[in-house]
């Protein structure tokens, strides 16, 4: 039976829809659950899409030559020599990740905490996810030692792990694993003969551009598949476009052939008009570079402000270095949360913030945290404005925190967190 | 192991790419392999897509309320009462069909001959396709008696068939199963407790509009899922948009929930700008109706002309009632093909037509025909012109066969078929 357990709805998309319903019902909600980027489409990209509206042919399954060449250039500029023939485009990096699991086969090791869909996709592909914890502050990269133990034990038990997923920069923690850890992961994958599937959808959102994330493709180029897209860097989630970079060499070509075959049976090709605009975007003309830089600054500024409230409330938080996510641990407040609010885990924290304050966040359980964990994920990406005018102003502002709608949203989150932390026991430090 | 056998590349897409490569290399090729519709985008739809180029949010997983309401209206006008809540949109009906197999689980009965991807999708979903022959001239609907036998035998052998796929109108045969057969299939599915997955992507391309195809949803509404899209009716394959209509009632709602969960984990949502244009198209304003009618007439006219050449060559051919496909059987010429050309099966016919005449067709083996079958599929949908000017002229022409490029293409096919049929033995009747 291919589906032995019920398939869970994507937690981020479900949370998004729930908040949209509450807002439609007139409730005042602060959406920090989904990582959808609330920023407008760059005009140059809008124009490219409109100009390609007459394109209705399927085109090649792995994407147009223009898109594949542009994506290859994008990776080359990031230190990964790439031939266009190594690129497979798809309708989002999510379907590419799923198709990769089908094309690789076998079971797959996934980081814990990790993005909500890795495990669900593995189960849909008929595999079992093998959860491997990450090291503190080094999210997205399964601890190489624990990976060795887990894969060895799984093989001894008759299972067939063939791949390991990494996320650099990381969702949900917003951290960037250091090069040494990425290298150690790559070496472990080589020893264990695993394909590395490196989800780098946040690669352009590292705040310190002088210290970019290192891809495992640097250290294990023969076995690393990199996926990326325009969803996060350019806020184009609704356009559905992503790209995968297959390893060079014979094994990489074979995997690429299988990936394209799977794609041909599931989705045919990425949407043609979108491919045209995506090719332009991956070419990184100056206005695209400026837009990504402005978004990166905005995420960093608002994330730091929310981080201040979390730390003030008494949560533990690894320094956020990238993305629009914060992944606090309320464990230091465990006794107080239980006594004051009857809250014992991340689901309870999310319920409290949602029901009492209209602040939507995702519990750590959605990312694979064990029972009793007091982690939740907050995303700042929906706080930048209620309409394109506000969002453009946020992108352009020297100090986005001075804009009243952003200041208000950050203060709202801060009040909710202070209320969560208040109660019996030592008082929380106020911001 | 989720992928126990290599995944085949979609035969239609592979043939398409091979022909594109030959054409790029300067060869003269006549593309009758893929069913991609070579007609331009209706200007009104181009404009809708361009106007929606700023839409970058994911939106709801099952599609926008506007698209779901428009698709519900589309089905209501075809005699199927539909609430928008029963509609799930996706990036093509192909991914919807795949996600349905995952959501239903178990094995699936498929018609033989049948579309190239049903079997491959079933295997990717971890299931085994259960091939069930169709009755002559009633393509797409597994023979209800043979379905009973196959499902009963499979269950006795410990397998778990839970669904049956039907295609009305049919690809590859271009026939439309009569209402009595559709009803008998629906009754068999009810007896056997199978979900009916009815692929109706060609529903608007029945030449005789006074005798539309009957959906199994008329006869087994409680268990029939209908899929449809704009790929064939409006030539929008490259836009990637499709819709599924779930059954009303509790079981239908449960299946819909599972389908949306699978969609949320594989593709998130259909491309947002395309959704806007698709909603307009499913609303069927007059220019959309006129465009579909013109395409239908054009397909019918060219199909009949090619059918004349096939019959003249001595092939057996069930009357084509819909689509742009012809599915001749060269069995009456078996001895002659073997003696004259060393051709013993549909692959040999396809090779002969391709290598000797540059005419690309698909062998019956791609549709599940047994070894030794002499069937091939020819599609007329790429014969309408080399550019949008020619294609628009073809749509508007009172007699498309009088246009030199269409006349030339049809004559080319006719000459290739006459050469195939020529040789020792009784001469083929010439057109």
CATH code, A55-283: 3.40.640.10
Per-residue pLDDT tens over the stretch B395-430: 999 999 999 999 999 999 999 999 999 976 554 444
At A2, is the pLDDT very low, low, confident or very high (cuts 50, 70, 90)?
A: very low
Alpha carbon distances (Å) from B33 to A257, B30, B338:
21, 9, 23
A160 contacts on B by Cβ (under 8 Å): 1
In sign, the C-alpha dihedral spanning B230, B235, B237, B238 is negative
Q: Select the CATH number that applies to the domain covering B55-284 from these four: 3.40.640.10, 3.90.1300.10, 2.60.40.10, 3.10.50.40.
A: 3.40.640.10
**Cβ contact, residue pair B58, A17, below 8 Å:** no
Q: Out of B3, B55, B274, whose CB is closest to A271?
A: B274
pLDDT digits (tens, 9 = 90+) for A88-119: 999 999 999 999 999 999 999 999 999 989 99
Report, as an integer, the average pLDDT of A21-26: 86
Chain B residues in contact with A117 (beta carbon < 8 A): 265
Q: What is the pLDDT of residues B133-167, one digit of tens each?
A: 999 999 999 999 999 999 999 999 999 999 999 99
- Specify which residues B129 forms β-bridges with: B108
List, by residue range, all CATH 3.40.640.10 domains of chain B: 55-284
Q: How far apart are CA B243 and CA B231, in angstroms?
A: 11
Query: What sign does the CA torsion over B222, B224, B225, B231 have?
Result: negative
Mean pLDDT across A121-146: 97
CB contact under 8 A, A270 and B6: no
More confident residue, B26 or A290: A290
pLDDT over 90, % of chain A: 91
For residues A249-270, average pLDDT: 96
Size of interface A-B (CB pairs under 8 A): 228
CA of B298: how far to CAs of A57, A233, B294, B395, in Å?
19, 45, 6, 6
Question: Do B325 and B171 touch, CB atoms closer than 8 A?
Answer: yes
Range(s) for CATH 3.40.640.10 in chain A? Answer: 55-283
Contacts of residue A235 in chain B, CB cutoff 8 Å? 56
CB contact under 8 A, B92 and A267: yes
- Decide if pLDDT at B364 tops 60: yes
Q: What is the DSSP string of A266-281?
A: HTSS--HHHHHHHHHH
Q: What pLDDT is stored for residue A20 in this prediction?
A: 83
Q: Which residues contact A401 (CB under 8 A, 6 or more apart)?
A: A301, A302, A305, A407, A410
- pLDDT, residue B397, reads 97
Tell me if residue B223 falls in helix, strand or coil.
coil
DSSP for B12-63 reads HHHHHHHHHHHHHTT---EE-S------PPPHHHHHHHHHTTT------TT-
User: Does residue B2 carry a pLDDT above 80?
Assistant: no
Is the pLDDT score of B106 beyond 80?
Answer: yes
Read off the pLDDT band of B122 (50, 70, 90): very high
- Confidence check: pLDDT of B11 > 90: no
Angstrom distance (rounded) from CA A141 to CA A312: 28
| CA atoms within 13 A of residue A325's CA, in its CB half-sphere | 31
Q: What is the mean pLDDT of chain A?
A: 94
Query: How do residues B270-297 score in pLDDT, each as one tens digit?
Result: 999 999 999 999 999 999 999 999 999 9
Tell me: pLDDT of B4 over 70.
no
In this model, does residue A424 exceed pLDDT 80?
A: no
Q: What are phi and psi of B180, to 5 degrees?
A: -60, -40
pLDDT of residue A17: 80
Of B50, B58, B98, the CB nearest to A53: B50
Task: Pinpoint the residues of chain A covered by CATH 3.90.1150.10.
Answer: 11-40+287-421
How close A116 gets to chain B, by Cα (Å)?
Answer: 9
Kindly state whether B2 is in contact with chain A, defined as any CB-CB distance less than 8 angstroms. Answer: yes
pLDDT digits (tens, 9 = 90+) for A251-260: 999 999 999 9
Among candidate residues A290, A303, A318, the one with its CA nearest the CA of residue A392: A290
- CA torsion through residues A187, A190, A194, A196, sign: positive
Question: Kind and range of the H or E element at B244?
Answer: strand B242-245
Q: Structurally, what CATH architecture does the domain formed by B11-40+287-421 represent? A: Alpha-Beta Complex (3.90)
Structure tokens at A18: 């729930």
**Alpha-carbon span A410 to B319, nearest angstrom:** 69
* B238/A160 CB distance under 8 A: no
Question: Which B residues in the span 60-89 are in contact with A, Cβ-Cβ below 8 Å?
Answer: 60-61
Predicted ipTM beyond 0.85: yes
Report yes or no: A303 and A174 within 8 Å, Cβ to Cβ: yes
Chain A contact set for B91 (CB, 8 A): 91, 240, 267, 271
The C-alpha atoms of residue B258 and residue B265 are separated, in whole angstroms, by 11
Q: How far is CA B342 from the centre of its chain?
A: 31
What the block records as the tokens of B306 is 């090619």
- Of the partner residues B14, B56, B160, the one whose CB lies closest to the CB of residue A237: B56
**Angstrom distance (rounded) from CA A182 to CA A166:** 9
A96, A163, A238, A385: best mutation site toward chain B, by most B Cβ within 10 Å?
Answer: A238
B2–A240 C-beta distance less than 8 A = no
Q: Please tell me the distance from the alpha carbon of residue A168 to that of residue A166, in angstroms, as a whole number.
A: 7
Task: Give the distance from residue B56's alpha carbon to the nearest chain A alpha carbon, in angstroms.
Answer: 4
pLDDT per position as a tens digit, B234-277: 999 999 999 999 999 999 999 999 999 999 999 999 999 999 99
Contacts of B335 (CB under 8 A, 6+ apart): B425
With CA atoms as reference, report the closest residue to A129 among B125, B2, B263.
Answer: B2
- The minimal CB distance from B271 to the residues A36, A55, A239 is found for A239
Q: Is 50 exceeded by the pLDDT of residue A413? A: yes
Beta bridge partners of B379: B325
Query: What does the pLDDT average to over B2-7?
Result: 52
Model confidence pLDDT, tens digit, residues A297-348: 999 999 999 999 999 999 999 999 999 999 999 999 999 999 999 999 999 9
CB-nearest partner of B271 from A20, A238, A268 = A238
Residues 209-228 of A with CB under 8 A from B: none
Q: Kindly report the backbone phi and psi dihedral angles of residue A19, in degrees, each rounded to the nearest multiple of 5, phi listed first.
A: -65, -40
Summarize the confidence of residues A141-148 as an average pLDDT.
Answer: 98
**pLDDT value of residue A161:** 98
Q: Residue written as tokens 């991914």? A: B95
pLDDT > 90: percent of chain B: 91
Cα–Cα distance between A45 and A39 in angstroms, integer? 13
| Partner residue facing A40 (CB), from B54, B235, B272 | B54
């Amino acid at each position: 039976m291919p589906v032995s357990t019920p398939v869970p709805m994507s937690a981020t998309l479900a949370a998004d829809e729930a908040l949209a319903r509450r807002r439609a019902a007139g409730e005042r909600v602060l959406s920090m659950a989904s990582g959808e980027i609330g920023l407008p489409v760059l005009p140059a990209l809008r124009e490219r899409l409109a100009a390609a509206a007459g394109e209705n042919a399927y085109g090649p399954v792995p994407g147009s030559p223009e898109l594949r060449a542009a994506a290859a250039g994008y990776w080359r500029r990031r230190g990964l020599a790439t031939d266009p023939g190594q690129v497979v485009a798809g309708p989002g990096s999510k379907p590419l990740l799923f198709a990769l699991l089908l094309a690789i086969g076998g079971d797959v090791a996934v980081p814990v905490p990790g993005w909500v869909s890795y495990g669900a996709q593995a189960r849909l592909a008929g595999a079992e996810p093998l959860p491997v914890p990450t090291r503190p502050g080094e999210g997205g990269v399964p601890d190489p030692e624990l990976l060795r133990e887990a894969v060895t034990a799984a093989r001894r038990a008759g299972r067939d792990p063939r791949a390991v997923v990494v996320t650099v920069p990381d969702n949900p923690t917003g951290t960037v694993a250091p090069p040494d850890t990425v290298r150690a992961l790559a070496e472990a994958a080589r020893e264990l003969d695993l394909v590395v599937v490196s989800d780098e959808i946040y690669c352009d959102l590292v705040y310190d551009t002088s210290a970019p994330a290192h891809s495992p493709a640097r250290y294990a180029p023969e076995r690393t598949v990199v996926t990326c897209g325009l969803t996060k860097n350019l806020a184009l989630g609704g356009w559905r476009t992503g790209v995968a970079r297959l390893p060079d060499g014979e094994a990489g070509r074979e995997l690429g052939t299988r990936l394209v075959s799977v794609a041909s049976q599931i989705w045919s090709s990425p949407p043609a008009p979108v491919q045209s605009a995506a090719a332009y975007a991956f070419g990184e003309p100056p206005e695209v570079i400026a837009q990504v830089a402005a978004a990166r600054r905005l995420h960093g500024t608002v994330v730091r402000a929310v981080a201040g409230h979390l730390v003030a409330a008494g949560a533990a938080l690894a320094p956020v270095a990238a993305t629009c996510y914060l992944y606090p641990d309320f464990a230091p407040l465990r006794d107080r949360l239980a006594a004051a609010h009857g809250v014992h885990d991340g689901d309870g924290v999310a319920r409290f913030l949602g029901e009492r304050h209209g602040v939507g966040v995702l519990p750590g359980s959605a990312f694979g945290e064990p029972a009793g964990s007091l982690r939740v994920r907050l995303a700042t990406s929906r706080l930048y404005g209620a309409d394109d005018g506000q969002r453009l102003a946020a992108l352009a502002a020297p100090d986005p925190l001075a804009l009243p709608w952003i200041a208000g949203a950050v203060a709202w989150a801060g009040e909710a967190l202070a209320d969560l932390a208040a109660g019996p026991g030592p008082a929380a430090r106020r911001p």
